[in-house]
Amino acid sequence: MIGLDKIREAAVQISDVIHRTPVMTSSGLNEQTGNDIFLKGEHLQKTGSFKIRGASNKVLKAVREGGRHMVAASSGNHGQAVAYIAGQSGIRATIVVPEDASPAKVAAIESYGGHVVRCGLTSAERIPEALRIAGETGGVFVPPYDDPDIIAGQGTAGMEILAQVSGCEAVVVPVGGGGLAAGILCAVKQMNPEVLVIGVEPETADDTRQSLAAGRRIAIGPTRTVADGLRTSIPGEVTFPILRDHLDCLVTVSEEEIKEACRFLFRYAKQVVEPSGAVSVAALLSGKSGLHGKKVAAVLSGGNVSVEAFAEML
C-alpha cells in the first residue's frame, strides 16, 4: 500500500495543476438506488479525467530530475494527461495508443502537443512499444497505472472525497488497470478503514475479476467494450496486490448497463460522462453494488467521449 504521506506529498505537488473537482447530487439517482449518492466529478477534471492527477505527479517529478521527453501508453485519457502536463512543462511527449483509439481522445492528445503512435489493441501490446521508444530516445516512460507515483497522484481523489462527503460510508470506483482504485484504496483505507471501497469493471473486460478469483494476475485476450478506458488485458503488478488485499468487493456490469448509466446521468444529472466513467453509476443503478441505505461516493472518472458516440448511446 502507498503511504498516506506520499499521497499528501502528491496533493501538494499537483495542487497548481489539477482542479479540486466538485461533488454533485441527484435526487433521481437517490430514489432509483435507495442510497444517498454523491457524484465525484472527475469528468470535469482538467483534460477531462482523473488521469491528470497521477500523470502530473509522475511527470513533474521526472522534469525535476532532468527528464525532457515523456513516453506513455494509453487508450486515451492517460495520454491526454501526459501530453498536457508535458506541454505545460515545455517538454516533448509521445503517446502510444491502440489502433482503434477514440478519435476524440487522439485529437485531444494532439491538441496538447503530443505525438501519437498507434500500436495493437491491448495494453500488453502498447506498453512494450512505449518502453521501446523511451529506450531508443532516452525518454521517461510514464506508466498508465502501474507506478507508485501514479497511484499516489490518483489517491488525491480519495482524500478529496472524504473531505467533501462527511460521513461517507462507501466509495464506488471504476477499475481498469487499477491505478485509480488502488490510489483511492490507499487514501481511504488509511484515513477511515470503515469506509467500503467497491470496484466496477465491464463484464467483457474482467481481467481484475478473474485475477481476484484466481488469487493471481490473469491475462485475458483482446476485449471489446464501450468503456474503452477500462479495456486492460492484465492488472498491474503494483496495483493488483493493493486491490486483492484491500478492495471490499468487485462487480461487473454489462454493456447495456453502462450505456444506461450514461443516459441516466445525462437525463437526470445533466452530466456528459464517458462510458468508462459511468460504470460506478451502472453498478448502483443495476443493484449490483449491493449497497442500500448508504452514503455513497460514486466516482465519475472521465468525460472524454465524442459527440457521435454519445449521441448514439442516447
Q: Which residues are catalytic?
A: 51, 301
Q: How far is CA 17 from the centre of its chain?
A: 17
Contact between 303 and 105 (Cβ < 8 Å): no
CB atoms within 10 A of CB 136: 9
Pairing of strands 36-41, 23-24: antiparallel
Burial letters for 276-314: b for 16+ Cβ neighbours within 10 Å, e otherwise? bbbbbbbbbbbebbebeebbbbbbbbbbbbeeebbeebe
Distance, CA of 262 to CA of 283 (rounded, Å) = 12
Distance, CA of 276 to CA of 289 (rounded, Å) = 16
Beta bridge partners of 296: 37, 170
Q: For residues 260, 262, 265 and 268, what is the CA-based torsion angle, rounded to 10 degrees?
A: -50
